[in-house]
């Protein structure tokens, strides 16, 4: 029997979600990925390195890392101790060094040293899941993708767009609410809002530009002055 066709999302939910995205686009007109990179290989590497640390710390080690190892072939043959020394400030440096060596070797062996531009190929690389793959596609190749990180997942549940906690199911549920062309920027808008206003423990509800469409309004301070003190002007240090 053919697989059942998923039910179309509720029209009112689609309208509300798209309105929120439009307002967030106005709130964060400069929203973009907060990792620095010059090409898809750099983007792939810094995204892998960003796990369990901040984008700012990754950006700080990036110049030294890629000056020494500018491409997959160079990195695949890098002495392990040199990589560990460079990325040491990021924490978990032994595991991350192992990831970079395996990832670079796979790029050389399977893709002639180039980063593939298809999600199916990206997720077959060591240490690369759908989240990382979509980051690379959307920001490195201009291929629309939804990045379900912790901020994105938290916000789509608070906004009532989905109850899914599984990242893949959440990705598909949210993708059904928006045209594909909007997916990458939608990810940036929600991630920026999560880092600056809609915090995990104490969201700044009283300073939120999309509060009127949020069923979770009141999870944090609603007083404008109190909420304003919680707002961060940039991503995490």
204 and 165 within one domain? yes
Convert the pLDDT of each residue in 163-206 to its tens digit. 999 999 999 999 999 999 999 999 999 999 999 999 999 999 99
102 and 78 within one domain? yes
Selecting among 149, 169, 180, 202, the annotated active-site residue is 149
Which residue among 98, 119, 141 closes a domain?
A: 141
| Residue 73's CATH number | 1.10.340.30
156 and 136 within one domain? no
Distance CA 60, CA 213 (A): 37
pLDDT of 1 reads 52
Selecting among 131, 169, 202, 232, the annotated active-site residue is 131
139 within 8 A of 184, measured Cβ to Cβ:
yes
Which residue among 113, 141, 169 closes a domain?
A: 141
pLDDT of 9 reads 76
pLDDT of 8 reads 72
96 within 8 A of 122, measured Cβ to Cβ:
no
60 and 124 within one domain? yes
pLDDT of 2 reads 53
Give a yes or no: residue 19 inside a domain: yes
96 and 150 within one domain? no
pLDDT of 236 reads 58
pTM over 0.75: yes
Domains of the chain: total: 2
Query: Is 229 designated active site?
Result: no
Which residue among 109, 124, 141 closes a domain?
A: 141
58 within 8 A of 49, measured Cβ to Cβ:
yes
Give a yes or no: residue 6 inside a domain: no
Give a yes or no: residue 53 inside a domain: yes
Of 101, 149, 91, nearest to 127 by C-alpha is: 101
Q: Which pairs from 84-88 meet CB under 8 Å and 24+ separation?
A: 86/61, 87/49, 87/61
Distance CA 17, CA 110 (A): 40
Query: Is 149 designated active site?
Result: yes
Domain range enclosing 156: 11-31+146-228
137 and 73 within one domain? yes
Low-confidence ranges of the chain (pLDDT < 70): 1-7, 235-237
């Amino acid at each position: 029997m053919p697989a059942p066709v998923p039910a179309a999302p509720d029209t009112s939910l689609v309208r509300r979600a798209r309105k929120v995205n439009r307002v967030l686009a106005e709130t964060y007109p400069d929203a973009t990925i907060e990792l620095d990179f010059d090409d898809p290989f750099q983007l792939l590497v810094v995204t892998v390195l960003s796990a369990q640390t901040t984008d700012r710390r990754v950006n700080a080690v990036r110049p030294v890392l890629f000056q020494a190892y500018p491409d997959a072939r160079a990195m695949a043959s890098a002495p392990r101790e040199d990589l560990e020394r460079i990325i040491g400030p990021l924490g978990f440096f032994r595991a991350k060094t192992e990831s970079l060596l395996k990832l670079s070797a796979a790029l050389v062996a399977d893709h002639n040293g180039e980063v593939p531009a298809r999600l199916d190929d990206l997720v077959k690389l060591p240490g690369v899941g759908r989240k990382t793959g979509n980051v690379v596609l959307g920001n490195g190749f201009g291929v629309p993708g939804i990045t379900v990180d912790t901020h994105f997942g938290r916000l789509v549940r608070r906004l009532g767009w989905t109850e899914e906690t599984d990242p893949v199911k959440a990705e598909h549920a949210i993708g059904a609410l928006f045209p594909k062309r909007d997916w990458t920027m939608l990810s940036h808008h929600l991630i920026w809002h999560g880092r600056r206003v809609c915090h995990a423990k104490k969201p700044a509800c009283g300073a939120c530009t999309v509060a009127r469409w949020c069923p979770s309004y009141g999870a944090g301070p609603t007083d404008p002055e109190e909420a304003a003190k919680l707002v961060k002007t940039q991503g995490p240090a």
